[in-house]
Structure 1
Amino acid sequence: MRLDGAAEDLLRAYEAMPLAELLGEARTLGRDGHRGVISYSRKVFVPLTRLCRDSCGYCTFAKTPRQVEAAFLSPDEVLAIVHAGQAAGCHEALLTLGDKPELRYAAAREFLDAQGVGSTVDYIEKICKLILAETGLLPHVNAGVMSEAETARLRKVSVSQGLMLESLSERLCERGGAHFGSPDKLPAVRLAAIEAAGRLRVPFTSGILIGIGEIRLERVQSLLALRDLHERHGHLQEIIVQNFRAKAETRFAGYDEPGLDDLLWTAAVARLIFGPAMNIQVPPNLSYANYPRLLEAGINDWGGISPVTADHVNPEAPWPEIARLQEATEAAGLTLQPRLAVYPAYVRNAAQWIDPSLLPKVLKVVDGDGFAREDGWMPGGLAPIPPLRKRARRDISLERLVARAATGTRLGNQEVTTLFAARGGDVDMICEAADALRAQTSGDTVRYVVNRNINYTNVCSYTCKFCAFSKGKTHDHLRGRPYDLSLEEVARRAREAWDRGATEVCMQGGINPHYTGQTYLDLLRAVKDEVPDMHVHAFSPLEVSQGAATLGLPVERFLAMLRDAGLGSLPGTAAEILDDKVRQIICADKLTTQIWLDVVRSAHRVGLRTTATIMFGHVETYDSWAAHLLRIRDLQEETGGFTEFVPLPFIHMEAPMSLRGQARSGPTWREVRLMHAVARLVLHPLISNIQASWVKLGEEGVASLLRSGVNDLGGTLMNESISRAAGTQHGQELAPEAMDALISRAGRTPEQRTTLYRPAAAERRAASLAAPELQDLVMTPFVPKQMAVAR
């Protein structure tokens, strides 16, 4: 492209606009592109070496060997900094250093020799590996100009890299200019290095430095050159507009600094040039007390903020405290959100942008949108849920979406995705609206069923990556031994459950290769012969499909046989995420989305009601959640056969794909709240019961969700084993007395129900409140050779 002509045209247009108008246009673009979220990275600053072969006229970071104690920080010194950052909740280790000091200083060469490496890049690689091995922090490397091969090496040990273009002006490299005597500041050299990073798919940070002698035309030219690179490679994750600050003992000590209006103008121009999606950052510490005004220019990122280390490049300008940063951000009607060194869009497309060896560390600390997890809470654990803090609402468009959903209007996929991406006060608004809809739909009654889980076999021929329950040849290291319950033990458990007040047994198991459709009919008969009045809620769509196939029957015919043998309803499990791209990752050999929907549709056609579930918080993103909810809604509109919707947070502790570093650590508490609330809104008025899982979220968790649209707490369970195998610590049974107390403490009215949402009989309730202790379980060992005869 011809930068001169394009830049001149843009400059004339921008300078013709009043500053207030320019800022307003940029601000609207930035807010639209980032949903009112202002991000930052909680980091430590690691000044690996302050030696540099360049001699920039404004820099106090670079020193000579006489001015430093050592040429480089030692590995132990780096680890001390990084460990302090980890203790303070940091995610990023920012490695900043001078360019190629070994080419200028013998002290640098001697240090590198002593470390057994041949170059600064070799040492960076060694240090990054050490940080990754010893801590949970993720390196971001600002290593100056590197060759393409060097950039490729560091891609394997850092999640992102950076190199400021600073300016496209070659004048600044002439005598008297800011970059005179600095071969690594030649614009062509820096552009080539930035483009090489694009070819290598490195998430990259760049930007411009203003006030060092350039003119506005050159700023615009520089931004256009960066945009051109980004349009070719898509790798520029952020553009920084940094303002020069004059420092004593530099050639530029007496230079005039750019004023605040000039900085705002330049940041707004960057937003207008790059559009709504780009991350535009202006360092807040370099504007001192005026930093909140930077938000006027449409920026969406504050950069790296450290609670541990100084800004070693600008030590005279301390970073604002994160609490004050949050206050300033929220005062502008925006939401502050932590991120990693690698930006969310690149996390969401990790296979393309992040080296596979780094991905487990990234997934461990992010939410479904690619931002950093905000607290230590995880489903299944005993950590308290994060406290709610009332925050201002900011997004009128979200309120309009919520209002439309509350009328029963079907939202589109992107609209539902937008609801899931809500943060700050908008989350509270969505939850409050869902709770108002709950009150309107089902009043203050909170229902639950007294039931017993009977998982008759944990032997499974499938290889679902999320499942810690099933046992097979590759699962010996997971909890428990392979078992297959005798029909006598199934009947005994059903009788015991009835005697303890249950109205339902919920029966599911692994896909045992020795089972046929007749096995499922025999299991039904074992329960119904022992307890004719027991409701049998059993068999996932996967089991139904498998059973029908073994008998050579159409699914609908087999379902009718199960119904006639006493099946009362089906659990809507094996759904996981109804998005085949995700299913290919987590359960490639399982039912496709369409087959799952077809089985459930057939169940509804033969008069069997089902639940609907979603398992969320592993590898999927919010658009998959939206697609799942809308597929459930559409099927319900067609058949009316779903009794309730049950969000099931992914329990990661013992899940195989988590142990291999292939999944997130379950959903965040924000995501859990939103899943239940958005489900209430999106499924209205077709599904009126939204259930929360106490076994995955604990009593405190489900009690809180009663204020987010939930009106049902599922079953008492008696013998929960699937979530327990995955690592949850919330127990196997929540007795009716505990259920009643929990619901009453939340200011709601408890009610025992049946599976199909009728009030439980008084006799059943009385029996449930005087239940004896459970007898010991008999776990019949799995013996394959005998199974063929027994079944």
Structure 2
Amino acid sequence: MEEIHVYRELLERAAEASLEAEEARVLARMAVEDPEPAMAAAGRVRDRAYGPRISYSRKVFIPLTRLCRDNCGYCTFAHPPRKGERAYLTPEEVLEIARDGAEAGCKEALFTLGDKPEKRYPEARRELREMGFETTVEYLAHCCGLVAEETGLLPHANPGVLSEEDVRLLRGVAVSQGIMLEEVSGRLLGRGMAHWASPDKVPERRLETLEAAGRLAVPFTTGLLVGIGESPEERAETLLAIREVHERYGHIQECIVQNFRAKPGTRMQDAPEPSEKEMLAAIALARLILPPEVTVQAPPNLADDEAGYLRYIDAGINDWGGVSPVTPDHVNPERPWPHLEELERATGSKGYLLLERLAVHPRYALEAERWVDEALRPKVLAGMDAEGFARVESWAPGKDEPVPERTLEEMRGRRPSRMRPEFVAALAGAGERDLDEEEIALLFTARGRELAELCRVADELRREVNGDVVTYVVNRNINYTNQCYFRCRFCAFSKGPKSLNLRGEPYLMDPEEVARRAREAWERGATEVTMVGGIHGRFTGQNYLDYLRAVKDEVPGMHVHAFTPLEVWQGAHTLGISVDEFLVRLKEAGLATLPGTAAEILDDEIRRIICPDKINTAQWAEVMRKAHAIGLRSTSTIMFGHVDGPVNWARHLLVLREIQAETGGFTEFIPLPFVHMATPLFLQGRSRRGPTFAETVKMHAVGRIALHGYIDNVQVSWVKLGVEGAKACLEAGCNDLGGTLMNESISRSAGASHGQEMLPEEMERMIREIGRIPRQRNTLYGEPERHVKAS
């Protein structure tokens, strides 16, 4: 009874704080005898840190060389030189393997190789010299660089013991590195034991490699090998050593808990393999000793069967490691990978989603400025989603591609998984209370069943507020100039003196041309013109007043929806008057409402990156408050999916909610997904490829929920999402399709290909196809005052 009490106390401490060394050793011994309590505690720790998610990396394995100067008693990967066989793969062979992997959808190239074979074999030294290299690590760096440049795969280097200079060299060409610590006692270096005659298995040398990687901020993989002769207490000591180095540098992204498999032809071919209890205890121990942010991984192919590797989930893993659809596990070729479909189904049977990640884990991908070399950073950003997981779809806003079927399945509840208690609690508050920043950010991380529930709740709120009516307005966009002296990095529309070679020639419309286009729109049935453009270097506030008067003189009945808060701010400044006074002059000249663009992300942390010379959050909000105060209502927008994420999105929504609570002046909320293709931010390698489709759906759904009771209308941009994308968002809280546009050039300039106009009959057909009721509206969501048929 006393031992059970001690065991329980240790588990409680492990779940809440770091165990002391002696406590960890005692826990290791107890867990081997009875792993179930430790597994339950480890599972709770894992669920708190990662939720119902198990990740993996879709990778291709590149065995650069099988020569090694060590003589590990369990290894069949390494062998001495063989007659007629090269010591190293050639660059061409490396690229052929990598290209096969890229074609199969892999994101990672894992280089496996022996440790410093040139120190043992003259054949290795000779071949390296013939290729122009002194060391295996130099050649590895060359091949990593080739693979990254030629195939886009992200290299992970696993070459054994490294000096600090080696680590630095590889950091420039590999997004992550690794070495299995295996064990730290040194006892297994003895004659006849697992690491006998293996100079690179000296624990101190391997720990020095971990230290060097930490000093150089390299996301690092390490782990222990279970069952090679170590005791349970020595496993604890190995994990404590990993914890200690991670606490100094924060760079251990994953710890692999790998079970020894006896192989014919090795010194340890008759050694007993670890029992299932030992393996489960070791996984649980890793989860309980290591900090929660360190991923715990166990290879599924080394378990006896599916039931065996599913027990690893019970024991606390949150990652399966690398799984290849192309190459075998070269270290354990007799153990084939489970098919990814099988692995996904099996993982789902436990209530967990299988999520693909990059070679660099999400936490490190999200902080790529610190953890990834500048040369590799664009590839990481382009390959990840807003949570740092792998982007697994080619779809992007503005691209003419089918909507990802996987997201539609998740939205419709066909990919079930557990829901996090905190997510359930946040969603339960929808419509009942104002959600806080943390809760809103949490909703943006919905996947699997959570995404289905998010969309269901958002659509219920939409039905409660708007019924089954979907509205649209017949309007025309007039972008009067694409010349701009602001340097917004997300913009491919504006042309300035230092513009990149983007779409279109610089132009500037005079007031007469703007008026002509307004007349043309009126004659085609439009009730609104939307006027926005670049900030031309010669513009003052008078230019905006001239445009307004020209339109109102030509078409007195036209509703003019024009000028972002940036244009208002700049116009007031150039005339030397207050924002209040300029807004009054604009209203007197015919301005009816303002577009809520120039908002991008209302979080100055992000604005400093994407639009550093633009108005800040407080200035944007000031213009909106003052406009609303004199009866000028406006839309509200968010432009998302570049360098932002759930927390920034939550802050943005809270800014809108606060303004709306004070003024009631916003007519609608319009998510605008970042169209990346031709933008400076993306072309310079500084952004993601826009939001994923799931993130786009979530923005509409969370917007509906977070702004419920404040902003009644949520609009979807068909220009950026296409017809099928817009339909999906209409099932996730949206009630408005926006305008017919007639001309739209801002999204087109960035690379969008969904067209510049949608006729009213096309909109109505699309709305009826999803069982909803179409209704034409005016800008303020009332009945149009004129009944000219739009064409």
CA distance in 2, matches of 1:459, 1:374: 36
Match of 1:707 in 2: 731
Match of 1:242 in 2: 258
After superposition, the Cα gap between the structure-2 partners of 1:283 and 1:697, relative to the gap in structure 1 and judged at 3 Å, is same
RMSD over aligned CA atoms reads: 1.2
CA distance in 2, matches of 1:447, 1:645: 14
Match of 2:505 in 1: 481
Match of 1:332 in 2: 350
Match of 1:636 among 652, 657, 660: 660
1:616 partner letter = F
Structure 1 residue 411 corresponds to structure 2 residue 435? yes
Runs (4 or more) in structure 1 with deviation over 3 Å come to 13-18
Structure 1 residue 351 corresponds to structure 2 residue 369? yes
CA distance in 2, matches of 1:185, 1:510: 63
Match of 1:687 in 2: 711
Instruction: Give matches, 1:508-523, under 5 Å.
Output: 508-523=532-547
CA distance in 2, matches of 1:529, 1:280: 69
Match of 2:468 in 1: 444
Counterpart contact for 2:25–2:237, Cα < 8 Å: no
Q: CA deviation at 1:292?
A: 1.3
CA distance in 1, matches of 2:313, 2:260: 19
Match of 1:778 in 2: none
2:567 partner letter = E
Match of 2:564 in 1: 540
After superposition, the Cα gap between the structure-2 partners of 1:68 and 1:92, relative to the gap in structure 1 and judged at 3 Å, is farther
Match of 1:614 in 2: 638
Match of 2:5 in 1: none
CA distance in 1, matches of 2:225, 2:337: 18
Q: CA deviation at 1:484?
A: 1.1
2:671 partner letter = P
Q: CA deviation at 1:400?
A: 2.1
Match of 1:74 in 2: 90
Q: CA deviation at 1:26?
A: 0.6
Q: How many residues align?
A: 762
What CA deviation, in whole Å up to 9, does each residue of 1:490-524 have, x standing for no partner?
A: 11111111111111000001111211111111111
Match of 1:9 in 2: 23
1:85 partner letter = G
Match of 1:733 in 2: 757
Match of 2:674 in 1: 650
What CA deviation, in whole Å up to 9, does each residue of 1:312-353 have, x standing for no partner?
A: 000111111110110011111111100000001111111100
- Name which of structure 1's ranges 51-60 and 657-666 shifts more when overlaid on structure 2: 657-666
CA distance in 2, matches of 1:541, 1:232: 46
1:115 partner letter = M
Structure 1 residue 300 corresponds to structure 2 residue 314? no
Q: CA deviation at 1:622?
A: 1.5
Match of 1:173 among 189, 197, 208: 189
- Identical counterparts, % of pairs: 55
Structure 1 residue 661 corresponds to structure 2 residue 677? no
Match of 2:11 in 1: none
Q: CA deviation at 1:279?
A: 0.6
What CA deviation, in whole Å up to 9, does each residue of 1:356-405 have, x standing for no partner?
A: 11011111111111110121111101110011221214114322211202
Q: CA deviation at 1:19?
A: 2.6
SS in 2 for 1:653: coil
CA distance in 2, matches of 1:83, 1:694: 36
What CA deviation, in whole Å up to 9, does each residue of 1:746-777 have, x standing for no partner?
A: 1100011111010224x43x421xx2xxxxxx
Structure 1 residue 373 corresponds to structure 2 residue 397? no
CA distance in 2, matches of 1:14, 1:691: 56
CA distance in 2, matches of 1:246, 1:123: 32
Match of 2:162 among 146, 149, 154: 146
SS in 2 for 1:405: coil
2:656 partner letter = I
Q: CA deviation at 1:14?
A: 5.2
CA distance in 2, matches of 1:610, 1:572: 6
Structure 1 residue 560 corresponds to structure 2 residue 584? yes
- Name which of structure 1's ranges 273-282 and 391-400 shifts more when overlaid on structure 2: 391-400
Match of 1:490 in 2: 514
Match of 1:105 in 2: 121
What CA deviation, in whole Å up to 9, does each residue of 1:500-550 have, x standing for no partner?
A: 111100000111121111111111101111111111100000000000001
SS in 2 for 1:222: helix
CA distance in 1, matches of 2:722, 2:169: 45
* Structure 2, gaps ≥5 residues long: 1-18
Structure 1 residue 457 corresponds to structure 2 residue 453? no
CA distance in 1, matches of 2:313, 2:677: 40
Match of 1:315 among 330, 333, 349: 333
Match of 2:789 in 1: 767
1:392 partner letter = P
Match of 1:33 in 2: 49
Match of 1:550 among 566, 574, 589: 574
1:298 partner letter = G
CA distance in 2, matches of 1:473, 1:110: 55
Counterpart contact for 1:478–1:654, Cα < 8 Å: yes
CA distance in 2, matches of 1:644, 1:14: 58
Match of 2:620 among 578, 596, 602: 596
Q: CA deviation at 1:218?
A: 0.5
What CA deviation, in whole Å up to 9, does each residue of 1:425-459 have, x standing for no partner?
A: 21111111111111111110000110000111111
CA distance in 2, matches of 1:304, 1:8: 33
Counterpart contact for 1:237–1:279, Cα < 8 Å: yes
Q: CA deviation at 1:476?
A: 6.0
Q: CA deviation at 1:41?
A: 0.3
Structure 1 residue 87 corresponds to structure 2 residue 99? no
1:8 partner letter = E
CA distance in 2, matches of 1:144, 1:422: 39
Q: CA deviation at 1:298?
A: 1.2
What CA deviation, in whole Å up to 9, does each residue of 1:650-706 have, x standing for no partner?
A: 001111111111111110011011111011111111111111000000011101111
- Name which of structure 1's ranges 473-482 and 441-450 shifts more when overlaid on structure 2: 473-482
Counterpart contact for 1:57–1:251, Cα < 8 Å: yes
CA distance in 2, matches of 1:743, 1:68: 68
Counterpart contact for 2:603–2:617, Cα < 8 Å: yes
Match of 2:213 in 1: 197
2:625 partner letter = R
Match of 1:774 in 2: none
CA distance in 2, matches of 1:434, 1:393: 19
Structure 1 residue 427 corresponds to structure 2 residue 451? yes
Instruction: Give matches, 1:41-80, under 5 Å.
Output: 41-66=57-82, 69-80=85-96
Counterpart contact for 1:499–1:767, Cα < 8 Å: no
SS in 2 for 1:291: helix
Match of 1:397 in 2: 422
After superposition, the Cα gap between the structure-2 partners of 1:372 and 1:747, relative to the gap in structure 1 and judged at 3 Å, is same
Structure 1 residue 754 corresponds to structure 2 residue 768? no
1:613 partner letter = T
TM-score normalised according to structure 2 size? 0.95
CA distance in 1, matches of 2:774, 2:285: 58
Q: CA deviation at 1:136?
A: 1.1
* Structure 1, gaps ≥5 residues long: 772-791
CA distance in 1, matches of 2:492, 2:657: 30
Match of 2:173 among 157, 179, 182: 157
CA distance in 1, matches of 2:436, 2:66: 53
Counterpart contact for 1:446–1:713, Cα < 8 Å: yes
SS in 1 for 2:546: helix
1:391 partner letter = R
Instruction: Give matches, 1:252-267, under 5 Å.
Output: 252-267=268-283
Match of 1:278 among 277, 294, 308: 294
CA distance in 2, matches of 1:97, 1:69: 16
CA distance in 1, matches of 2:484, 2:371: 35
CA distance in 2, matches of 1:220, 1:320: 30
Match of 1:500 among 521, 524, 531: 524
Counterpart contact for 1:43–1:304, Cα < 8 Å: yes
